[in-house]
Chain A
Amino acid sequence: MTRRLLLGALLILLSACAPSPGDRQTIRFWVMGREGEVIEQLLPEFERRNPDIRVRVQQLPWTAAHEKLLTAFAGDTLPDLCQLGNTWLPEFAALNALADLGTRVATSRVVVAEDYFPGIWETNVIDGRLHGIPWYVDTRLLFYRSDLLKKAGFETPPRSWGEWEQALAAIQKAVGPTRYAILLPLNEFEPLLALGLQQDDPLLREEGRRGGFSSPGFRRALDFYARMFHNGWAPALGGAQISNVWTEFGRGYFSFYISGPWNIGEFKRRLPLERQGDWMTAPLPGPAGPGASIAGGSSLVIFRSSRHPEAAWRLVEYLSEPAVQIRFHEMTGNLPPRRTAWQDEQLAGDVYAKAFRDQLERVRPTPKVPEWERIVNEMQLAAEQVVRGGMDVEQATRALDRRVDAILEKRRWMLARGKRG
């Protein structure tokens, strides 16, 4: 008796999680970080226009998003559509988890490929197939204290590495040993990655079969990066050790900071009023003149496993409408990937966004290999060893390439077997 009761109870429990049928179709949408908090405000309008669709949003923390998505793939529990960092696209494309959006775009009146920044659009095309629609763009460039730069004797921000080094040295001299010219948090790989992408040597060789980090180009970038620490211009700190970047920037603890668009809003909001006139953004300096930066950002993807691809696509289209993108920008500070949206008065008139608009025409994608997320983690570990552990650049890059080659071993085998396109 007891046992039968138990089994009965168990069966009820097990079936409790099965989806219940209904008239409306419910699509599951996974969104990350801050976007997840504000997206709810954009959805009522969509659900009003599409009364047959209900959207269920789940917010993923950025720090756990990648593992969550892979777990969901492994467990066959992916949502219908999802926000995906565009460096993760190759991984999910290789897993054959993403729907091909090419034909949908061809017939869409909302999503017009030509209106998007080409560098960003390109990150969504893998082996000739379109797997995502850019939702917002993200690149890294300079935030700087214009007053401190001026005090050190510079009217305009540096455009090349040479000018940058001069400015850094001058500022460091002016602010003294308790403060720093630049902040490069050691747990963030983006600054070094951007410097690496400015080089002519690719980060991976042989079509992504082997590491290219011991190339002269990347070594130059790492050397430049490490020199900023060794010269005492940058403090060797991880992100967690700086309690509040915004306060410290306001206090002049550092004068240069490489960061992304969301910080425009944060600095506007968090810096005291009397500091508001003292900061500005500038495109990232390159080895000789304005340099490239990372073609980052997030795309909207539809998973092949989705049972409501049509409804999911309607949501993608809605979120891609320039008017919606402008609202989204107002709420998050994320920059729209479409040129039309940039013509909006508020965005066009934003002096801080101007540098981003400029930089976006000069962005480069990261290598499109599924293992990239892991490789870039290794790259930053190597950089940390050079900065903190006193390893020399040549040694570190050679060791890095060895590790990267090991990570790519499976990819080489699979390419050789010709199983992948």
Chain B
Amino acid sequence: MTPRLASALVNGLLIGLTAVTLFPLLWMLSVSFMPAGAASTLPPPLFPETPTLANYRELFVRAGMVRWLMNSLLLAAAVTLCSLAFNTMAGYAFAKLKFAGRERLFRTLIGALVIPGQVAMMPLFLLLKQMGLVNTYGGVIVPAMAGIFGIYLVRQYARTIPDELLEAARVDGAGEFRIFLSVVVPLLRPVLASLAVFTFLACWNDFMWPLIVLTDEDLQTLPVALASLSREHVQDNEMMMAGSVVTVLPVLVLFLALQKHYIQGLLLGSVKG
């Protein structure tokens, strides 16, 4: 095979693959601007003949999309902030602070990582019911305020912090919490960015738990509301695509903006430690 042909083949395959990958997303965007019923014709139109914002208007004005968007933003932001704080503190301590039983404790946590969350779901529901947190934002936020994976991620990264740096700060008489804030956190910034993007996306995209714990329509997140809308409005193709755009666009934009951190976090998390 000549190099020229090989190059054409490789790039041709890449272009084809990318086209197939992006097609559903582009199609979603295009259909979302079509007037009601326009997509259900043959041949299926690829571009709106008379572009309209009616579907978005319908969703935001009548269906309560604003509320769901705010819920999703609020929950994802709250979970990200809380878990970032808790996981960072714990991850750092597991990496750098010595205390009795540290290794065993950490091994136990890592061992628990293999347990799928569903085993905990039923008792967790009962627990949150006792605490009065079912059908409140707290029902989603509180159980997600810390996670083993996040602790692990931070610990992996924090191990690269030189001990001398911490010792020097201690000699200067700084308290542990002060050292954490002024020395450790700045050094951890890259992993924190990764963890933040990761957590935010995971929380935004989460479906099963919000579906279970948030029954009130006013508290629902975008994916749950979208799933429920799409069951009711099976025929309203175009409106559902607009709903999908609103659900997907924020995370896509966030990913494009912070792509580097996301990929780093992904790689850091999947390399065996």
A interface residues (Cβ-Cβ under 8 A, vs B): 2-3, 6, 9-10, 13-14, 16-17, 33, 58-59, 61, 63-64, 68, 71-72, 74-77
B216: A residues at CB distance < 8 A: 58, 77
CB distance from B271 to the nearest CB of A (A): 29
Q: Do A77 and B141 touch (CB < 8 A)?
A: no
B interface residues (Cβ-Cβ under 8 A, vs A): 74, 78, 81-82, 85, 125, 129, 132, 134-138, 141, 181, 212-213, 215-217, 219, 228, 231-232
A-B interface pairs (CB < 8 A), number: 58
A77: B residues at CB distance < 8 A: 134-135, 215-216
Q: Do A72 and B135 touch (CB < 8 A)?
A: yes
B134's contact among A3, A6, A76, by CB below 8 Å, is which? Answer: A76
Cross-chain pairs A/B with CB under 8 angstroms, 21 sampled: A2-B181, A3-B85, A6-B82, A9-B81, A10-B141, A13-B138, A14-B137, A14-B138, A17-B135, A33-B232, A58-B216, A61-B232, A63-B231, A64-B231, A68-B215, A71-B212, A75-B125, A75-B129, A75-B134, A75-B215, A77-B135
Q: Which 10 A-B pairs have the closest CB atoms?
A: A75-B134, A77-B135, A14-B138, A61-B232, A17-B136, A61-B231, A58-B217, A72-B215, A75-B135, A71-B215
Q: Do A6 and B215 touch (CB < 8 A)?
A: no
Residue in A16, A17, A74 with the greatest tally of chain B CB atoms within 10 Å:
A17
Beyond A17-B138, A75-B213, 6 additional contacts (C-beta under 8 Å) are A6-B85, A9-B78, A13-B137, A75-B129, A75-B215, A77-B216
Query: Nearest chain-B residue to A36 (Cβ)?
Result: B232
CB distance from A324 to the nearest CB of B (A): 24
CB distance from A243 to the nearest CB of B (A): 10
Q: Do B74 and A13 touch (CB < 8 A)?
A: yes
Q: Do A74 and B136 touch (CB < 8 A)?
A: no
Q: Do B231 and A2 touch (CB < 8 A)?
A: no
A58: B residues at CB distance < 8 A: 216-217
B85: A residues at CB distance < 8 A: 2-3, 6
* Main SS at interface, chain A: helix
- Docked pose: A407 CA to B232 CA in angstroms: 30
CB distance from B5 to the nearest CB of A (A): 47
Q: A2-B181, A3-B85, A72-B135 are in contact. Are A10 and B78 (CB under 8 A)?
A: yes
Query: Nearest chain-A residue to B135 (Cβ)?
Result: A77
- Docked pose: A72 CA to B134 CA in angstroms: 9
B137: A residues at CB distance < 8 A: 13-14, 16-17
CB distance from A42 to the nearest CB of B (A): 18
B78: A residues at CB distance < 8 A: 9-10, 13
Residue in A13, A71, A75 with the greatest tally of chain B CB atoms within 10 Å:
A75
- Docked pose: A235 CA to B122 CA in angstroms: 41
CB distance from B77 to the nearest CB of A (A): 9
- Docked pose: A3 CA to B82 CA in angstroms: 9
B81's contact among A6, A17, A71, by CB below 8 Å, is which? Answer: A6
A76: B residues at CB distance < 8 A: 129, 132, 134
- Docked pose: A74 CA to B219 CA in angstroms: 17
A74's contact among B82, B134, B181, B232, by CB below 8 Å, is which? Answer: B134
- Docked pose: A95 CA to B149 CA in angstroms: 40
A68: B residues at CB distance < 8 A: 215
CB distance from A161 to the nearest CB of B (A): 35
- Docked pose: A10 CA to B82 CA in angstroms: 8
Query: Nearest chain-B residue to A244 (Cβ)?
Result: B235
- Docked pose: A17 CA to B136 CA in angstroms: 6
- Docked pose: A144 CA to B141 CA in angstroms: 54
Query: Nearest chain-B residue to A17 (Cβ)?
Result: B136
A2: B residues at CB distance < 8 A: 85, 181
Q: Do A64 and B215 touch (CB < 8 A)?
A: no
Query: Nearest chain-B residue to A71 (Cβ)?
Result: B215
Query: Nearest chain-B residue to A78 (Cβ)?
Result: B215
B132: A residues at CB distance < 8 A: 76
CB distance from A29 to the nearest CB of B (A): 12
- Docked pose: A74 CA to B123 CA in angstroms: 12
- Docked pose: A71 CA to B85 CA in angstroms: 32
Query: Nearest chain-A residue to B63 (Cβ)?
Result: A59
Residue in A9, A13, A33, A59 with the greatest tally of chain B CB atoms within 10 Å:
A13
CB distance from A244 to the nearest CB of B (A): 10
- Docked pose: A9 CA to B78 CA in angstroms: 8
- Docked pose: A14 CA to B141 CA in angstroms: 9
A6: B residues at CB distance < 8 A: 81-82, 85
CB distance from A236 to the nearest CB of B (A): 22
Query: Nearest chain-B residue to A1 (Cβ)?
Result: B181
Residue in B134, B215, B232 with the greatest tally of chain A CB atoms within 10 Å:
B215
- Docked pose: A65 CA to B232 CA in angstroms: 11
CB distance from A74 to the nearest CB of B (A): 7
- Docked pose: A58 CA to B137 CA in angstroms: 18
CB distance from B71 to the nearest CB of A (A): 10
A75: B residues at CB distance < 8 A: 125, 129, 134-135, 213, 215
- Docked pose: A63 CA to B227 CA in angstroms: 12
B74: A residues at CB distance < 8 A: 13
Query: Nearest chain-B residue to A37 (Cβ)?
Result: B232
- Docked pose: A281 CA to B106 CA in angstroms: 71
Q: Do A14 and B136 touch (CB < 8 A)?
A: yes
- Docked pose: A16 CA to B78 CA in angstroms: 13
- Docked pose: A151 CA to B130 CA in angstroms: 66
Query: Nearest chain-B residue to A14 (Cβ)?
Result: B138
- Docked pose: A2 CA to B134 CA in angstroms: 27
CB distance from B213 to the nearest CB of A (A): 8
A14: B residues at CB distance < 8 A: 136-138, 141
CB distance from A100 to the nearest CB of B (A): 25
- Docked pose: A33 CA to B233 CA in angstroms: 10
- Docked pose: A178 CA to B125 CA in angstroms: 52
- Docked pose: A102 CA to B125 CA in angstroms: 35
B135: A residues at CB distance < 8 A: 17, 72, 75, 77
CB distance from B61 to the nearest CB of A (A): 14
Q: Do B129 and A17 touch (CB < 8 A)?
A: no
- Docked pose: A10 CA to B85 CA in angstroms: 13
Query: Nearest chain-A residue to B213 (Cβ)?
Result: A75
- Docked pose: A16 CA to B85 CA in angstroms: 22
- Docked pose: A30 CA to B136 CA in angstroms: 18
B81: A residues at CB distance < 8 A: 6, 9
